[in-house]
Each structure stands twice: as structure tokens, then as C-alpha cells.
Amino acid sequence: MILRTLAAGAVIVIASASFAAPALAAGGTANPEIWSWGSIYSADRAGKAKGKVVLDRPGFVVSGKLYDFPGRKGCSWLTFRWVKESGGKGYKTYHSCSGTKPLAFALKTGYMLSIEGKVCRGTAKKPTGRCSAWEGVWSQGG
């Protein structure tokens, strides 16, 4: 009788593991958490950025698109700054000079406490001004 209970228990455990393994192998966690952010506009409203933040292993991924509206001189620049869970800081800048096709980006930040972004205008080499204020993209606890 004890053997039958153990055998039945082993069958149940093996069956449960076979159902769980494909879900984890397909992409890490089964249900990553997702938040939308934006739109953030440059001060002259000639550039815009928006996107989403995904929490999945191993940390956060901030993705989206940077738009440089047609008929405007210059380029759009997007800068992110974030505070890491360890207390350090991170920065990343993207730019787009295409008035027709938005720039798609994905930034792996690892685990963080908060991230902010701002959109500026500039040349093809550097941002020169007409920036938005720093706007919250995501923060722990809302």
C-alpha cells in the first residue's frame, strides 16, 4: 500500500513537471509585467517618444519608438537616466534624424528603482536644446 501511494505520488509529480517545463522554457516567466509610458514631446513638439517597460528575467527592458516629425530642421534626441537597485546610476541616449521612420529601441537596465526620460532637439551629432522636462517613465511603487 505504501508503494502504491509513492508510485501514484511520483506519477503526479512527473506529470506536473512536464506541464510546467515548456511554459518556462518558452520565455522565462509565464506572465511578465508591462507598463506603458509617454508620450514625451520636445519643447518645440518636433520630437516625441513613447513605449513600454517590461519586467522579466533578468530585470527590466525599456522599449519604444523615438519620432522625428517631418518638415522640421534638426534631429530628435531621447535621454534616459535611471537609478539601479544597487544604488548606481545609468544613462543612455538615442537619436533619430529620419522624418519618416521612427527609431525603435530596447534598453536593458537590469533591476532598477526608477527611470526618467526627456526628449530634446539637436543636430546629427549632439542635442542642442529645446528639451522637455525630465518625465517619469517608471518607478518602483508607482
If asked whether residues 128 and 107 sit together in one domain, one would say: yes
CATH of the domain at 68: 2.60.40
CA distance 119 to 61: 19
12 and 52 share a domain? no
**pLDDT tens per residue, range 11-49:** 333 333 333 333 334 445 567 899 999 999 999 999 999
Per the DSSP assignment, residues forming a β-bridge with 95 are 77
User: What confidence score (pLDDT) does residue 132 get?
Assistant: 98
pLDDT at residue 63 above 70? yes
H helical segments located in the chain: 2-27
pLDDT of residue 25: 40
pLDDT in tens, 73-132: 999 999 999 999 999 999 999 999 998 999 999 999 999 999 999 999 999 999 999 999
pLDDT value at position 67?
97
In the predicted structure, residue 9 carries a pLDDT above the cut 60: no
Tell whether 18 and 41 lie within a shared domain.
Answer: no
Question: Nearest Cα to 135, choosing from 48, 46, 38, 35?
Answer: 38
Q: Please report the beta strands in the chain, taking only residues with DSSP state E, as ranges in sequence order.
A: 33-41, 47-56, 59-68, 75-84, 89-96, 103-110, 112-122, 127-129, 135-139
Indicate whether 12 and 50 sit together in one domain. no
Q: How far is CA 81 from the centre of its chain?
A: 13
Domain that holds residue 2: 1-29
Q: Give how many domains the chain has, as a whole number.
A: 2
For 3, 7, 23, 25, 56, the CA distances from 13, given in Å and listed in that order, are 15, 10, 16, 18, 27
Percent of the chain whose predicted confidence (pLDDT) is above 90: 71
Q: What is the pLDDT of residue 2?
A: 41
**Residues 56 and 126 reside in one and the same domain:** yes
